[in-house]
Structure 1
Amino acid sequence: MEMYISTIVILIAVALSNFLAKFVSSISKTYISLLVGIVFAAIPLINGYILKFDFEFFMAFIIAPLLFLEGQKTRSILVRRKIKSIIGTAVVLALISAIAGLFAISQLFSLTLPFALILIAISTPTDATAMDSVSEGRKMPRRSEIVLKMESLFNDASGIILLQAGVIWFKTGHLSYARNFGVFILTAIGGALIGIIVAFIIMICRQMIIRTRFNVTYSHVIIYFATPILIYFAAEELRLSGIIAVVSAGLIFNGEMSRSRFSSPRYLSFFNQIVVFFGDTMNGFVFVILGLSLMRIVIEEKPELTSTLEWLWIGLTIYLVSLMVRYLYARFITRYDKMEAISFSLGGVHGAVTLALVFSLVGQGISTHLFNLILLTETVVIVFSMLTPTILFKFILDPVQNEDDLRMNKKLIREKMVNVGIEYVAGLQISPAVKESVTFDLLDQNRNTTLRQFLSQWLGVNSKRYVFTGFQAVEERQILMNAFEEERKYLYELVDGTALDKAKYIYDVYSELLISESLVLDSYEE
């Protein structure tokens, strides 16, 4: 019961952050989610309903599906083309950063090498969603943006392997470089293989079922969302990288969706909507949890915060060393230009996975004092990695076209389209009740109806005033379809010769219009 209540409270926080993001469009939705999580944790009554952070649940049911979706958004051909960059950032850069950070903090703060490695390993994974939030509204250099996304998909495994090596070294006093490197190669390749094989089998089975009379849309959706969780657990059970397994599985499904769009169009339309909903919800979930966790750290570790500032300086050192190594790697090894190198170094943003790795240490023999030091240190790394680029990108990157202007363009296009449909209906000689109903439906495309009008229509439906049968039902449906056709003609003429950036918004409106037509047809079937 506690798990259910905790999940509902967090989902309410996600919904609230989405509403607030509409009112405060100048701030990234990610930061709104973060702030809502902080506020919820600061209210004792609400905080008491939310369970403590569970590493295994978080990785299996939140991070694994999110990385699976990120993998599915990425074309496998792009991964093949960027394989050299992926190995460079997820393996070579991770090792260089680990070695540089290891000796820097062990020498500056008199920490043992095993403990220093634990701190460095936890701060290895980068977060694509967090990176998107800090660069929102700014034009990132294309090459560095792609490499940053590829890096964040695969370097979680590097951080986990380094952390395991650090914990073993901390407990036993021994570190086998050859053995740990061999384990990394085995778990990475093994994880990729199991992800590819299982995803391919599931894809073939699903495609076979789609082409038979036994096809059931909702069963496919259930299987789809269960796939990354099952693959993650299977890979982890075999001591392989569950993270790389789910990313690899997502890459397989990318090709499937692009080549089976029309075999079951209703399913794919529904599927696309639910994937967007699930992805947005889980992203909000991640940052609400991050906000909750950060606030709880401040509340619960208050004595540690005030007794010494060692955690602050260690965290700041780790971040600065990482920043410097990333810049030098991009500038002199991958030969990026200055702006690409700067954006690449600042784009290494840390988020919820870093915090999850901290909590994975619970029960692994780390003393309370050292655990608190790790927790506070990594909190500093997360906060600095998010705030620094958020501020600096405002000065060094050009802004994208203003989102408010784009929304206004889209609104104007829809208004003109709706006017075309209404003018068509106004010129028809039809029954007043049908004309009123159709006009309301057309105005509703632009949400250009009042609450009073809605209530009038609602009362009319319930009193059968707008429930048409026989000829009037056919007439209403036909007039709506004809009005939609007039609107489509207008959009088609509008898009001809229009610049690509504006055409995108015309196509968005066109897509919504087609969905409206399909709803009219569905009502006919009912």
Structure 2
Amino acid sequence: MEMYVSTIIILIAVALSNFLAKFVSSISKTYISLIIGIIFAAIPLINGYISKFDFEFFMAFIIAPLLFLEGQKTRSILVRKKIKSIIGTAVVLALVSAIAGLFTISQVFSLTLPFALILIAISTPTDATAMDSVSEGRKMPKRTETVLKMESLFNDASGIILLQAGVIWFKTGHLSYAKNFGVFILTAIGGALLGLLVAFIIMVCRQMIIRTRFNVTSSHLIVYFATPILIYLAAEELNLSGIIAVVSAGLIFNGEMSRSRFSSPRYLSFFNQTVNFIGDTMNGFVFVILGLSLMRIIIEKKTELTSTLEWLWMGIVIYLVSLVIRYLYAKFVTRYGQMEAISFSLGGVHGAVTLALVFSLVGQGISTHLFNLILLTETVVIILSMLTPTIVFKLILDPVQNEDDLWMNKKVVREKMVRVGIEYVSNLQISPAVKESVTFDLLDQNRNTTLRQFLKQWSGVNSKRYIFTGFQAVEERQILMNAFEEERKYLYDLIDGAALDKAKYVYDVYSELLISESLVLDSYEE
């Protein structure tokens, strides 16, 4: 019961943050989700109803599906082209950063090497969603942006393997470099093969069913969203990398969606909308949980926070060492330009996965004092990795087109388009009730109707005034379709010869118009 209540509260927080993001466009939506999570945790009545952080649930039901969706957005050909870069960032850079950080913090803070490795390993995974939030509204160098995304998809496995090695070393006093490297190769390759194989089998089965009369959209969606969870759990059960398995599975599904768009267009349209909704909700979910967790750490660990500042200095040093190593790697190994190197070094943002790895230590023989020290240290790393690039990127990167400006451009295009449709209808000699209903529908495309007008239409539907049958129903549908055709002609003329940046928002309006037409046809079929 407690889990259900927690989920509902967090979903309310996500909905609230999405709503507030529309009013505070200058702040990234993920930061607003983070702040809402902090506020909810600070209110004892609400905080009491939210369950404690569950590492296994979080990884299997939140992170695995999110990485699966990220993998699906990535073309497999891009992964093949960037395989050298992926190995470089997810393996070589991770190991170099771990070694440099390991010896630095062990020497500076007189820590044992196993404990230092645990700290460094937890801060290895980077977060693509968190990176998007800190660079939102800024033009990232294209090559850097692609490499950072590839890195974040695959370096979680590196962090998990390093953490396992660190925990074993901490508990037994022994570290086998060859064995741990062999385990890493086995789990990574095994996870990739498992993900690819299972996803391919599921894809073939789904495509066979789509091409028969037994095709059921709801069943496909259930199978689709269950796929990353099952693959992750199966991989972990087999001691393989669940993270790499779900990313690899996502890559298979990318090719499927791009080559089966028209075999079942209604399904794909609904599928895309559903996936976007679930993905957006899960992203908000992650950052609300992150905010909740950070605030709980501050509330529950007040004694450790004030008794010593060792956790603060350790977090700062770990972040700075990582920053320097990433810059040197980008500048001298990959031969990036100055701006690309700076962007790459700052783009190693840490988020919820880092926090999840901390909580994975529960029950692994780490004392309460050391666990609290790890938790506070990694909290500093997460906060620094998000705040630093947010500030620096605003100073060094050019802004992209403001979302408000884009919305205004679309609004202007839509207003002119609607005017064309209404002008067409106003010149027709038709039933006044049909003309009023169609005019309202056309104005509603631009949300240019008042609440009073809506209530009048709502009342008319309930009193059957605007429910047409027979000839009037045919007339209403035909006039709407003709008005939409006039609007499409207007948009087509705008697109023809338009610059790429202007054509984008015209295409957005055009696609909405096509959806409106499909709704008219659907209502007729019903």
Q: Which bracket does the TM-score occupy, shorter chain normalised?
A: over 0.9
> Structure 2 CA distance, aligned partners of 1:279 and 1:323?
29
- Tell me if 1:132 matches 2:132: yes
Question: How many Å apart are 1:502 and its aligned residue?
Answer: 1.0
Question: How many Å apart are 1:207 and its aligned residue?
Answer: 0.3
Q: Deviations over 1:471-510 (max 9, x none)?
A: 1111000000000000000000011110011101111100
- Tell me if 1:83 matches 2:83: yes
Q: Deviations over 1:79-131 (max 9, x none)?
A: 00000000000000000000000000000000000000000000000000000
Q: Which amino acid counterpart does residue 385 of structure 2 have in structure 1? A: S
> Structure 1 CA distance, aligned partners of 2:504 and 2:398?
21
Determine what percentage of the aligned residue pairs are the same residue: 90
> Structure 2 CA distance, aligned partners of 1:83 and 1:366?
36
Q: Deviations over 1:244-291 (max 9, x none)?
A: 000000000000000000000000000000000000000000000000
Q: Which amino acid counterpart does residue 220 of structure 1 have in structure 2? A: H
Mapping of residues 84-103 of structure 1, within 5 Å = 84-103=84-103
Q: Which amino acid counterpart does residue 406 of structure 2 have in structure 1? A: L
**Structure 2 unaligned residues grouped into runs of 5+:** none
Question: How many Å apart are 1:57 and its aligned residue?
Answer: 0.2
The match for 2:419 is: 419
> Structure 2 CA distance, aligned partners of 1:289 and 1:401?
30
The match for 2:228 is: 228
The match for 2:459 is: 459
Question: How many Å apart are 1:401 and its aligned residue?
Answer: 1.6
Q: TM-score, normalised by structure 2?
A: 1.00
Q: Deviations over 1:13-68 (max 9, x none)?
A: 00000000000000000000000000000000000110000000000000000000
Question: How many Å apart are 1:7 and its aligned residue?
Answer: 0.2
The match for 1:354 is: 354
- Tell me if 1:487 matches 2:524: no
> Structure 1 CA distance, aligned partners of 2:338 and 2:360?
37
SS in 2 for 1:7: helix
SS in 2 for 1:434: helix
Mapping of residues 32-43 of structure 1, within 5 Å = 32-43=32-43
Q: Deviations over 1:425-473 (max 9, x none)?
A: 0000001100000000000000000000000000000001101111111
The match for 2:522 is: 522
Q: Which amino acid counterpart does residue 426 of structure 2 have in structure 1? A: A
The match for 1:8 is: 8
The match for 2:259 is: 259
Question: How many Å apart are 1:407 and its aligned residue?
Answer: 0.9
The match for 2:280 is: 280
> Structure 2 CA distance, aligned partners of 1:520 and 1:141?
43
Mapping of residues 12-411 of structure 1, within 5 Å = 12-411=12-411
SS in 2 for 1:209: helix
> Structure 2 CA distance, aligned partners of 1:502 and 1:71?
30
The match for 1:430 is: 430
Question: How many Å apart are 1:313 and its aligned residue?
Answer: 0.1
Question: How many Å apart are 1:404 and its aligned residue?
Answer: 1.3
The match for 1:499 is: 499
Q: How many residues align?
A: 526
The match for 1:447 is: 447
Bigger drift between 187-196 and 403-412 goes to 403-412
Q: Which amino acid counterpart does residue 64 of structure 1 have in structure 2? A: A
Q: TM-score, normalised by structure 1?
A: 1.00
Q: Deviations over 1:304-360 (max 9, x none)?
A: 000000000000000000000000000000000111000000000000000000000
Q: Which amino acid counterpart does residue 125 of structure 2 have in structure 1? A: P
| RMSD between aligned residues | 0.4
Q: Which amino acid counterpart does residue 70 of structure 1 have in structure 2? A: E
Q: Deviations over 1:115-148 (max 9, x none)?
A: 0000000000000000000000101011111000
> Structure 2 CA distance, aligned partners of 1:49 and 1:417?
49
Q: Which amino acid counterpart does residue 69 of structure 1 have in structure 2? A: L
SS in 2 for 1:449: coil
Q: Deviations over 1:145-167 (max 9, x none)?
A: 10000000000000000000000
Q: Which amino acid counterpart does residue 421 of structure 1 have in structure 2? A: G
SS in 1 for 2:523: helix
Question: How many Å apart are 1:405 and its aligned residue?
Answer: 1.1
> Structure 1 CA distance, aligned partners of 2:418 and 2:292?
44
> Structure 2 CA distance, aligned partners of 1:80 and 1:445?
43
SS in 1 for 2:111: coil
Question: How many Å apart are 1:402 and its aligned residue?
Answer: 1.8
SS in 2 for 1:349: coil
Q: Which amino acid counterpart does residue 383 of structure 2 have in structure 1? A: V
Q: Which amino acid counterpart does residue 297 of structure 1 have in structure 2? A: I
> Structure 2 CA distance, aligned partners of 1:199 and 1:297?
39
> Structure 2 CA distance, aligned partners of 1:48 and 1:39?
13
> Structure 1 CA distance, aligned partners of 2:303 and 2:429?
79
> Structure 2 CA distance, aligned partners of 1:51 and 1:13?
15
> Structure 1 CA distance, aligned partners of 2:405 and 2:392?
24
> Structure 2 CA distance, aligned partners of 1:14 and 1:49?
16
> Structure 1 CA distance, aligned partners of 2:153 and 2:482?
48
> Structure 2 CA distance, aligned partners of 1:38 and 1:184?
36
> Structure 1 CA distance, aligned partners of 2:291 and 2:309?
22
> Structure 1 CA distance, aligned partners of 2:304 and 2:412?
56
> Structure 2 CA distance, aligned partners of 1:194 and 1:405?
46
SS in 2 for 1:467: coil
SS in 2 for 1:212: coil
SS in 2 for 1:362: coil
> Structure 1 CA distance, aligned partners of 2:420 and 2:46?
50
Q: Which amino acid counterpart does residue 509 of structure 1 have in structure 2? A: V
Structure 1 residue runs of 4+, over 2 Å off?
none
Q: Which amino acid counterpart does residue 427 of structure 1 have in structure 2? A: N
SS in 2 for 1:228: helix
> Structure 2 CA distance, aligned partners of 1:520 and 1:404?
30
> Structure 1 CA distance, aligned partners of 2:57 and 2:338?
41
Q: Deviations over 1:363-418 (max 9, x none)?
A: 00000000000000000000000000000001111111222111100100000000
SS in 1 for 2:205: helix
